[in-house]
Amino acid sequence: MGLDLYAKIEPYLDFEEEVYTLHKEFLRFVMVNDLNNIIDIGCGQGYFLENLKVNKKNYFGIDLSVEQIKVCQEKNLNAQAIALKDVKEKFDCATAIFDVLNYIPKNEIKTFLKEANLVLNQCAYFIFDVNSYFGFDEIAQGCITIDVEDKFIAIDANFEDEKLQTDITLFEKQENGLFSKEQDSIIQEYHSKEFLTKALNETGFELVEIKEFNLHTQEIADKLIFICKKK
């Protein structure tokens, strides 16, 4: 999966407002419920970790992308490039923000949820968001080209059979004036409310609430935020 290539192009995608809006919603929940000792699963370049750090929360971030974690560590954030199953500590809250569960295939969701359950203390919260069907079908699909500095980026996303395939191409100008080319793809899957509710119940979670969330449009909710507790 092209997560390391995505890490290279992410700073040029101009998603700052969306990142801020969604992180604000998660941070509000953390602050209102006075949560501490938080693991952020799929922490990316550490934007949410920075919010936790500023608010003096104990936190730990993990991500499978070595490139993303390098950025976190350059910011002096507590984060490691390790798999969830390799985390040994226990936490009072887990977050998985910006489609983390959509990157997990349906046949691996229950394994992921079991691993999330294992790193949590009793009655701890697990909060995550997923894209709605509308979010995939009407918002995520399409083509983007970005021509900036010494880079040219092309992104082509297609949603079919409940899967979004995003093809990324990056051209970078080298010192000799020629351009190098990198290509990779990212696959995300649509997970329905019913599917996730059943999976959560079967892996030791109590579903507290599903919140509809409008991130990219006011028309129809393009995201769902799941608030769960370990049984």
What number is the average pLDDT over the span 67-78? 96
177 burial level (CB within 10 Å; 0-12, 13-18, 19+)? exposed
Q: Report DSSP state, residue 17.
A: H
Q: Are residues 57 and 68 both part of a single domain? A: yes
* Predicted local confidence at residue 80, as pLDDT: 98
Q: Are residues 31 and 66 both part of a single domain? A: yes
Q: Are residues 157 and 175 both part of a single domain? A: yes
Q: Are residues 41 and 124 both part of a single domain? A: yes
DSSP 186-228: EEEE---HHHHHHHHHHTTEEEEEEEEE-SS-SSS--EEEEEE
* Predicted local confidence at residue 125, as pLDDT: 98
Q: Are residues 50 and 74 both part of a single domain? A: yes
Q: Are residues 153 and 177 both part of a single domain? A: yes
- Considering its fold, how many domains does the chain have in total? 2
Residues sharing a CB contact under 8 Å with residue 26, sequence separation 6 or more, in sequence order: 48, 95, 97, 127, 225
Q: Are residues 112 and 213 both part of a single domain? A: yes
- pLDDT per residue as tens digits for the range 89-140: 999 999 999 999 999 999 999 999 999 999 999 999 999 999 999 999 999 9
Neighbours of 174 (CB within 10 A): 9
Nearest by Cα to 60 from 104, 21, 25, 95: 95
Is residue 222 scored above 90 in pLDDT?
A: yes
Q: Residue 94: which domain range? A: 3-132+190-230
Q: Are 82 and 62 in contact (CB under 8 A)?
A: yes
- pLDDT per residue as tens digits for the range 35-71: 999 999 999 999 999 999 999 999 999 999 999 999 9
- pLDDT per residue as tens digits for the range 2-29: 778 988 898 898 888 999 999 999 999 9
Q: Are residues 28 and 95 both part of a single domain? A: yes
* Predicted local confidence at residue 1, as pLDDT: 60
Q: Are residues 124 and 153 both part of a single domain? A: no
Is residue 87 scored above 80 in pLDDT?
A: yes
Q: Are residues 69 and 122 both part of a single domain? A: yes
Q: Are 170 and 5 in contact (CB under 8 A)?
A: yes
- pLDDT per residue as tens digits for the range 173-207: 999 989 999 999 999 999 999 999 999 999 999 99
Q: Are residues 109 and 197 both part of a single domain? A: yes
Report which secondary-structure segment, H or E, holds 134: helix 133-134
